Structure 1
Amino acid sequence: MAIPDPVRANFDTLLRAAGDGNLALIECLDSGKREVRYVLCAVDRAGGDYVFTPFGHLADGNPYEAYLPPDPDDPTGLIESAGDGGAS
């Protein structure tokens, strides 16, 4: 499964920020669920201000239970359930 170009560009930006020491973990409030999230952000400067660009939040609980991986037998598909080869 191909990763879309805008997603790959964001990932490259995240890697550059990490390499430059311009990465931050910030406690935020989820705008929809009103729950605390720990958000990974790239940090930049605009004049005298800091600019934080959010890239995503850390998974709550066990991330192996939150996500299903790509299907190793089908490069265009995803594993549909943990019983289909996902982490146990």
Structure 2
Amino acid sequence: MAIPDHARTNFKTLLRAAGDGNLALMECQDAATGNLRYVICAVGRDGGDYVFTPFGHLADGDPYDAYLPPDPDDPSGFLAPDDGGR
């Protein structure tokens, strides 16, 4: 699967912010569930104000349980949970 251009652009922005020391971890409330989330943000300036741009949140619990990696034998698929995705 190809990673879409917008995701690549956002990732490059995130890497640049990290390289410049302009990342923050903010405690936020999930708009849909109300749960607390720990959100990775790029920090910028707008005049004298700080601007925080959210890029995503840290996984709750074990991140290996939250995501399925790509299947190396099927470029359009993902490993199933019982495939030992770790």
Give the counterpart letter for 1:4 in structure 2.
P
SS at the partner of 1:17?
helix
Q: Which runs of 4+ in 1 moved over 6 A?
A: none
Shift of 1:34: 0.3
User: Counterparts of 2:27 and 2:13 in 1: how far apart (Å)?
Assistant: 21
What is the aligned-residue RMSD (CA, Å)? 0.8
Higher strand share: 2
> Where does residue 74 of structure 1 map in the other structure?
74
User: Counterparts of 1:69 and 1:85 in 2: how far apart (Å)?
Assistant: 10
Shift of 1:83: 1.0
Scaled by the length of structure 2, the TM-score of the pair is 0.96
Structure 2 unaligned blocks of 5 or more: none
User: Counterparts of 1:70 and 1:40 in 2: how far apart (Å)?
Assistant: 24
Scaled by the length of structure 1, the TM-score of the pair is 0.93
User: Counterparts of 2:72 and 2:59 in 1: how far apart (Å)?
Assistant: 23
Question: How many matched pairs?
Answer: 86
Identity of aligned residues (%): 72
> Where does residue 86 of structure 1 map in the other structure?
85
